[in-house]
Amino acid sequence: MSKLTPAIEIEDLWFSYDKTPVLKEVSFTLEQGNYMAILGPNGGGKTTLLRLMLGILKPDRGTIRVLGLMPKEARDRLGYVPQSTEINLSFPISVFDLVLTGRLSRSRIGRRYTSTDRGKVETILEKVGMLKYRHWPIGQLSGGQRQRIFIARALATEPSILFLDEPTASVDPEFEVGLYEFLEELNREVTIVIITHDVGVISRHVKSVACVNRTLIFHGAAKITQEMVDMAYHCPVDLVAHGIPHRVLPEHEE
């Protein structure tokens, strides 16, 4: 079998908002089928990196290839779960119609949704356990339920890569466990990139870790290196104080 195109290939990426530099010298390659966690402090550029990979932002310098294409061209194959699901809570839209928007595509602008689209949405709603809520207005769901709907919307795009931006930020712990199991299952078919604060989860589920704070350190295994800890949090004590199990931290090698 020939080698697959990498899911993501970034080379010497630089980005700044106006004149404030946000990311510099970011380079890494992520193979398809991988499950990568991106961690780092607030304001370190995690979400910015995600938005660059989705083609919402354009880099100042450097190249990004997603599935071998420019991010803009690869969009049809990318699923995206934004950080905040609190947007537009009073918007007149039902769960079903919201997930249907995941079936939108450039090539079908101005055409109706088909019965295939509706069928797929029903299957996905079933999968995330929200089918019985399909007629509910979005504003009446709890945070966790809304999160499932946003994941369903991303899955409705039938993505090759799924990006999630802190999907457990506003949900109950029970849902969190379920979500990570769900993602692990999903990872058999889909490359996953997840931004998270939750360092504890990383060792158990993901296949690789990247740490972003202005620049990026990539680790092919699900390990948080001392270097990452130093860069991300400046102080390992801080990490431990947040209840990180010690086994996550690797042995000091040098």
Partner 1 sequence: MWEALHFEFMRNALMAGVLVSVACGVVGTLVVVNRIVFVSGGIAHAAYGGIGLALFTGLPPTLGAGIFSVGASLIMGAVSLRSRHRTDTVIGVVWAVGMAIGVVLVDLSPGYHVDLMSYLFGSILAVPKSDLWFMLPLDLVIVFTVLIFFKEFLAISYDEEFALVRGIPVNALYMALFCMIGFSVVMIIRIVGLILVIALLSIPPYIAEKFTSSLGTMMVLSTLFGILFTILGLWISFSFNLTSGAAIILVAGAAFFLSLAVERIGGSGLRQNVEEYTR
Amino acid 139 reads: G
Residue 117: how many CB atoms within 10 A of its CB?
A: 17
If the CB atoms of residues 10 and 248 are measured against partner 1, the closer one turns out to be: 10
User: Which stretch, 15-23, 71-79, 171-179, 242-250, contacts partner 1 (CB under 8 A)?
Assistant: 71-79
Q: Can you tell me which of 2, 20, 90, 115 binds partner 1, judged by CB under 8 A?
A: 90
Question: First and final CA of the chain: distance in angstroms?
Answer: 39
190/186 Cα distance (integer angstroms): 6
Secondary structure element (H or E) that encloses residue 199, with its range: helix 199-205
Residues 20-49 that bind partner 1 (CB under 8 A): none
Q: Can you tell me which of 75, 120, 148, 205 binds partner 1, judged by CB under 8 A?
A: 75
Contact between 221 and partner 1 by CB under 8 A: the answer reads no
99/232 Cα distance (integer angstroms): 35
Q: Can you tell me which of 3, 86, 92, 252 binds partner 1, judged by CB under 8 A?
A: 92
Contact between 235 and partner 1 by CB under 8 A: the answer reads no
If the CB atoms of residues 24 and 136 are measured against partner 1, the closer one turns out to be: 136
Query: What's the token pair of residue 55?
Result: 């083609």
Q: Which residues pair with 137 in a beta bridge?
A: 94
User: Which stretch, 15-23, 98-106, 206-214, 219-227, contacts partner 1 (CB under 8 A)?
Assistant: 98-106
User: Which stretch, 27-35, 52-60, 176-184, 195-203, contacts partner 1 (CB under 8 A)?
Assistant: 52-60
CB of 58 to partner 1, least distance (A): 13
If the CB atoms of residues 133 and 175 are measured against partner 1, the closer one turns out to be: 133
Contact between 138 and partner 1 by CB under 8 A: the answer reads yes
In the DSSP assignment, the letter for residue 112 is: P
89/167 Cα distance (integer angstroms): 17
Dihedral pair phi/psi, residue 53, rounded to 5°: -70, -25
Contact between 137 and partner 1 by CB under 8 A: the answer reads yes
Number of residues this chain uses to bind partner 1 (CB under 8 A): 35
73/75 Cα distance (integer angstroms): 6
CA distances from 210 to 74, 184, 203, 226 (A): 22, 18, 13, 13
**What residue ranges bind partner 1 (CB under 8 A)?**
54-56, 75-76, 78, 80, 82, 87-88, 90-94, 97-98, 100-102, 104-106, 109-110, 112-113, 135-140, 153, 157
